[in-house]
Amino acid sequence: MSQEEREKVLFSNHLHAIGKLDYVKDQSKKVECILCAVRENDSRVTALKVYQEELLFISLNLYPYNPGHLMVIPTRHVEKFEDLTKIERERIFEVVIYCQKMLRAIFSPSGFNVGYNQGNFAGASIKHIHVHVVPRYDQELGFIDIIGNGRIVVEEATQVMAKIQARIPDFILSPDVK
């Protein structure tokens, strides 16, 4: 079985973000790395970048689990966490904490999923490593809503982006945020 056939079976037999795999495969024909293209503001990809500094940048997820679903991404193209420098690792996880504090202030979530997927069979659809920061709520959709293909979009990405960009200076840039 080819890699493409294995991926098709893997994703078609499990819940997934509708259109995400098609988007990633389509973009990979246009650019070498989607996240590097986002970093460079490449017009060939849809970018929802909200912040950038020397070691990392932050982007809203184009296929969010919830409003405010952020990705903290190393600026340097890295495919495995073990290949990050100590300084990159420390800054990424420091910013993940700041993102949680910011999202808590903006959206008041009940909790967070924070994590990364490394490799196709671990769920990674993009090779450039990144950390997901997903706000979670006690009244999210249940199993029946999901299998019934019902989805409620609470806020448009542009509205979420504006809220986050307005608060970035308070959390990411402020040295006294603890």
Residue 16 CB: number of other CB atoms within 10 A?
14
In a domain, 23, yes or no: yes
Classified as helix, coil or strand, 128 is coil
Within a domain: 176:
no
Range of the domain at 84: 3-171
Instruction: Give the pLDDT confidence score for residue 56 in this predicted structure.
Output: 97
Residue 25: predicted pLDDT? 56
Q: Is pLDDT of 28 > 60?
A: no
Q: What is the pLDDT of residue 147?
A: 45
Per-residue pLDDT, 5: 63
Domain membership of residue 178 (yes or no) is no
In a domain, 177, yes or no: no
The answer to whether the pTM exceeds 0.85 is no
Per the model's pLDDT, the better-predicted residue between 148 and 52 turns out to be: 52
60-80 mean pLDDT: 92
Residue 143: inside a domain: yes
Whole-number average pLDDT of the chain: 80
Three-state DSSP state, 23: helix
Calculate what percentage of the chain has a pLDDT beyond 90: 49
Active-site residue among 69, 77, 128, 130? 130
List pLDDT tens digits, range 127-146: 899 999 999 888 775 444 44
d(Cα 48, Cα 63) in Å, to the nearest integer?
Answer: 11
Alpha carbon distance 44, 34 (integer Å): 9
> Can 132 be counted among the known catalytic residues?
no
Please give the pLDDT value at position 97: 96
Evaluate whether residue 54 is within a structural domain: yes
3-state secondary structure of 151: coil
Question: So what's the pLDDT on residue 172?
Answer: 81
Band the pLDDT of 23: cuts 50, 70, 90.
low
* Residue 93 pLDDT > 80: yes
CATH at 103:
3.30.428.10
Q: What is the domain count for the chain?
A: 1
